Chain A
């Protein structure tokens, strides 16, 4: 007789909720919320309640495979690993290390991301390593490093409860980060102002105290307008500005032309609402800013983030409890994947590869010289693959054939490779085109750590044994590293890898498995006695002085015209997660929602004579899809919306991979011009 409940961390969004896995005789039978967890305190969304369901799905990969002829054939691990290593070495020999690129997974553990980083830099000799943070919050990392000196969420989630005003920009929090929304709702129940800035009437917008239904992409104008009004009224925090920041005069000069009437005209938000929002944000403190991809996924995403940072510094709403600028990170471990240096310009802990001193630390430890030129970002990898410069890729737990912009281009790029290795837990679009597939174990079948959106590093124990002939990613990467001739990959446990991480990563130096088993810790945590950092910039900004960077309004890269008269934006729904690889294999979630839809305003639908539930064709300059219609006033006339999740009607056929944000290289997912046509 064996019944146990084992604590773990939810594998979906960045909230990092505690879950309890129910196991009978070694088999998962249920999920319960973990009552004493600091973030979710016994609450979960529908995805969290259904975690156990995907694990035994028949679509799980069960054995490593090699493409022989046109078909993938199951092979033993030895054969798959040695074949992969042989091909990689041939390509490296023939075209050089920079012909290989790696994409790690924000759904894998810190240990596994660190190993991918090590595999790229130490074994293959390239900085071509990136991951999906490029596509969601790279603009946050860059924007907040430039202004504050640290690219992470400034304050912890529970702080939101004590905020008196919360500004939510481009985040449908109740659907995309449900448990963060819980803390916001608690604040609301205590009387806080919850102000949502979003072009859509999202779920959170409908239950907020105020919704500014902004014209898509005009956030900079709105924020500049708010700042101009704040200065005009003398509501800025002069002491904070004088003592802790630099660049204020230039900011003031730049934003002086954004008066209320102009801002109202451009943003579509009325003057009174802008004035009131500026008033509440500065008078009913502490005030927090929470934002998500509505801010970052534009070709000026970094400038959007900087604008929010400017606003917070102008009013002294940063570096204190229940304030700050808080990007809500997407995946359960996207913060960790960034921290681990799965970024082309950073080693772990945001130490620049171009910084000789930082690099030497790693070189000394690994006893090998590392490349110092910055590597390629995700979209640049595909561009170079199309040009024939990238020849081989290793892609771990990531499905760019659904999640990356302009999918047809991604497909061409991947098909142009000589060799593609995919590490995944499910059959999906990527395994179909791979040359080698490594069948990996899910998060419940291994030990490790995840770092949630608020820099909280959390330990997960192994709950069940790996299913079928799968192996945890950390073992697979170790085997591959060793097969490639490296001596640095003989790890016996994830803890051993973590010890290497803490040795090489100052912000993780004080963290150990021993400590994490007692309590999660928030980085920076620099010594064994350091209790970790609850909120950032407490004793002054990480970069020294907070830096105001004046930002001018930006133009869209394409504007609606006769051919493509609608603006399309994208997002996610509460019932599914990203490319739905896991959630589509969860019966509960699939029963709730199994096909995707386009939201169209009733006026537009009437004009186009489209009915609810009808299938239409949606066309952009990149491609076209067929999709079912939902008629709703969630979107205003001229705006349409498609959730990103499903492969049947993948919205990213329509989105554009260019122009990239010049600073962060994030693509403009949130904005494309499309046409809608009836199907005869």
Chain B
């Protein structure tokens, strides 16, 4: 499979379908995201399909900002694709300008990530065998459980800084009226609830935040619980369907309809 991926990437770069292609590559003993271009095609030998998750959608957003006129491709997993679907709805990126190659996740990774759909749906090609995920039960815990977890927070902002869907220019977590600066323990639960609230109906439950949290707070489970509530109210699951409108969009229309503004 690795060879097929390499060939395809090479082909679309040489055919100038894209100017750069983002995918993981071995670097020393590590696996890191790498932008392949016409100039470094020989490095494709070091391409890696290891199941290491990086915020590729966030990275491509940054690259695109520096090179708005260039065309890019990415090798996406199911979760990367969901990030991009949401970013497209928020008009942060234009999916039509991206060349997506897909790779399906193994059963192991799907279980580790508690992912119900560990495969891509809109990518041009999907490499690898498609396995079904599992619908994990939402994790209902009482407040004391969460307060113990939140109290560990060391305010690294990693949950925000790694998240492809945290793209606000002014982050509420840095708003002094909400969260006092320069203190540990951080103001909890406000810090964590502000973020959870912001991600309601936006979070695609990829778990990058949970993986990067030095305080081992089960953040994905928290956001999953909030997403469940969001679904009950609005019937919307983020990242699932590229055509489906985001509630904020139809709310806007409803508002227009009702109030004429």
Interface on A for B, CB 8 Å cutoff? Answer: 1, 3-7, 18, 20, 22, 24-25, 29-30, 32-37, 40-46, 48-49, 174-175, 178-179, 181-182, 185-186, 189, 203, 206-207, 459, 517-519, 573-575, 591-594
Contact = CB atoms under 8 A, between A and B. Distances in A.
Contacts of B211: 35, 41-43
A203 B215 CA distance: 12
A35 B28 contact: no
The 3 lowest CB-CB distance pairs between A and B, nearest first, are: A593-B182, A43-B214, A3-B35
A1 B64 CA distance: 11
Interface residues of B, number: 44
Interface in B213-246: 213-216
Contacts of B29: 36, 517-519
Secondary structure class of chain B's binding surface, majority of residues: loop
B156 A178 contact: yes
B31 A43 contact: no
A30 B184 contact: no
A4 B185 contact: no
Nearest to A596: B182
A320 to B, nearest CB: 25
A510 B185 CA distance: 44
Interface stretch (B2-10, B76-84, B121-129, B157-165): B157-165
Interface stretch (B98-106, B147-155, B193-201): B147-155
A5 B55 CA distance: 13
Contacts of A574: 154-155, 184
Max count, chain A CB within 10 A of own CB: residue among B62, B156, B174, B215: B156
A20 B174 CA distance: 24
25 contacts: A1-B20, A3-B66, A5-B32, A5-B34, A7-B27, A7-B32, A22-B59, A32-B54, A33-B212, A35-B52, A35-B54, A44-B156, A45-B156, A46-B157, A49-B158, A174-B152, A174-B184, A175-B184, A179-B214, A182-B214, A206-B151, A518-B29, A519-B29, A575-B155, A592-B181
Interface in B162-218: 162, 174, 181-182, 184-185, 211-216
A34 B158 CA distance: 13
Contacts of A185: 152, 215-216
Given A24-B66, A35-B54, A591 B181 contact: yes
A46 B70 contact: no
A45 B154 contact: yes
Nearest to B19: A1
Contact of A18 (B30, B59, B174): B30
Interface string B53-70: 111000100110011001
Contacts of B215: 174, 181-182, 185
B162 A32 contact: yes
A517 B26 CA distance: 12
B33 interface: yes
B120 interface: no
B53 to A, nearest CB: 7
A25 B66 CA distance: 10
Nearest to A17: B214
Given A44-B212, A189-B216, A592 B155 contact: yes
B184 A573 contact: yes
A46 B155 contact: yes
Nearest to A595: B182
Nearest to A3: B35
Nearest to B213: A43
Contacts of B63: 3, 24
Interface string B90-128: 000000000000000000000000000000000000000
A49 to B, nearest CB: 6
